[in-house]
């Protein structure tokens, strides 16, 4: 015969197990939070931004599941990303590291970077110089970086160009293979992306995790668990900001 304490223990265990299962299902099939650890997507995403990524946007694969458990053998409900989408994916190098970049090329596209400007299928992507991006730390101005708006058809993307003649300002011609896409960071001179064959290269559709939708929290110069620093560190203006 079970005691009252035993009944209480099993009831609590059942409740916790159900809560964990629901959380895993939401994380795997609806949305997952990520934080931004580097400046490769400046000026649009900053170190310390916490974002939500929707899992249904491009379909599901094993990379939709925690630890990429191989329960989904192929990509199902596949939807191709669009040029300009900000996506989270697993790098082909190890199939476990999460990267976030912007989609620049789709299967069949021919891409080249010439003097820092993107050329897709022999068409140069026009860009316009705008006010500098002021990189700050604790609200103290650090440095000014050149900022441009690039025009991809009806999409306008803010990008940074830190220097002339950077190591990937002039590249070979990339031909995106079938079932893959080509990505770049918005901080063009400070991003390891598809321009680096030995690090990222072309991204298989299967490696897509989801689409970055909005920033739900943002901290400058502090970690999430350092709650005592929040009053001075929260970037209030970035909370619930959509990602474009």
* 102-to-55, 150, 177, 216 alpha-carbon distances in Å: 16, 13, 17, 19
The catalytic residue among 42, 75, 101, 211 is: 101
pLDDT at 9: 58
180, 117, 152: which is closest to 244 by C-alpha? 152
Residue 126 in domain: yes
CA separation for the pair 196, 4 (Å, rounded): 62
Judge whether 230 lies within some domain. yes
Cα 144 to chain center, whole Å?
24
Residue with token string 């299902």: 25
In the prediction, which pLDDT does 24 show? 67
Would 47 be classed as within a structural domain? yes
Residue 17 appears among annotated catalytic residues: no
Catalytic residue among 40, 191, 194, 218: 40
Q: What are 138's two structure tokens?
A: 């604790």
| Model pLDDT, residue 27 | 73
H helix or E strand, kind and range, residue 18: helix 4-29
Number of domains in the chain: 1
Q: Considering the domain boundaries, does residue 176 fall inside one? A: yes
Tell me, yes or no, whether 184 lies in a domain.
Answer: yes
- Domain of residue 230: give its range: 34-242
- 110 catalytic? Reply is no
Q: What are phi and psi of 66, to 5 degrees?
A: -55, 135
Question: Quick one: DSSP state of residue 38?
Answer: S
Per-residue pLDDT of the chain (244 residues; tens, 9 = 90+): 556 555 565 565 666 676 766 766 667 778 899 999 999 999 999 999 999 999 999 999 988 888 788 888 888 888 899 999 999 999 998 988 999 999 999 999 999 999 999 999 999 999 999 999 988 765 556 788 999 999 998 899 999 998 888 888 999 999 999 999 999 999 999 999 999 988 899 999 999 999 999 999 999 876 766 777 777 888 999 999 999 8
Q: Which of 44, 67, 91, 52 is nearest to 198 (CA)?
A: 91
Examine residue 79 and state whether it is found in any structural domain, yes or no: yes
Give the pLDDT score at 104: 97
pLDDT of residue 71: 85
For position 117, which CATH number holds?
2.10.109.10
User: What single string gives the DSSP state of each residue in 178-229?
Assistant: TTEEEEE-SBTTS--STT-TTTT-SEEGGGEEEEEEEEEEEBSSS-TT-GGG
Which tokens in the block code for residue 182? 């080509």
In-domain check, residue 132: yes
In this prediction, residue 144 carries a pLDDT of 87
Handedness of CA 176, 177, 181, 187 (dihedral sign): negative
């Amino acid at each position: 015969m079970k005691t009252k304490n035993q009944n209480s223990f099993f009831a609590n265990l059942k409740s916790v197990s159900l809560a964990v299962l629901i959380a895993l299902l939401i994380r795997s099939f609806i949305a997952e939070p990520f934080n931004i650890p580097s400046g490769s997507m400046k000026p649009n995403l900053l170190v310390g931004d916490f974002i939500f990524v929707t899992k249904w946007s491009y379909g599901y694969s094993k990379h939709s599941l925690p630890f990429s458990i191989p329960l989904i053998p192929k990509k199902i409900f596949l939807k191709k990303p669009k040029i300009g989408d900000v996506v989270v994916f697993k790098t082909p190098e190890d199939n476990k590291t999460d990267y976030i970049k912007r989609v620049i090329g789709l299967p069949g596209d021919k891409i080249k970077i010439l003097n820092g400007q993107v050329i897709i299928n022999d068409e140069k992507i026009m860009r316009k110089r705008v006010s500098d991006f002021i990189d700050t730390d604790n609200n103290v101005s650090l440095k000014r970086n050149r900022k441009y708006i690039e025009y991809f058809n009806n999409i306008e993307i803010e990008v940074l160009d830190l220097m002339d003649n950077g190591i990937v300002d002039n590249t070979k011609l990339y031909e995106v293979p079938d079932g893959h896409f080509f990505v770049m960071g918005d901080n063009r001179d400070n991003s390891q992306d598809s321009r680096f064959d030995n690090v990222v290269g072309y991204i298989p559709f299967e490696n897509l995790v989801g689409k970055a939708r909005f920033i739900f929290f943002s901290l400058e110069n502090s970690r999430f668990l350092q709650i005592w620093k929040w009053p001075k560190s929260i970037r209030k203006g970035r909370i619930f900001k959509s990602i474009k």
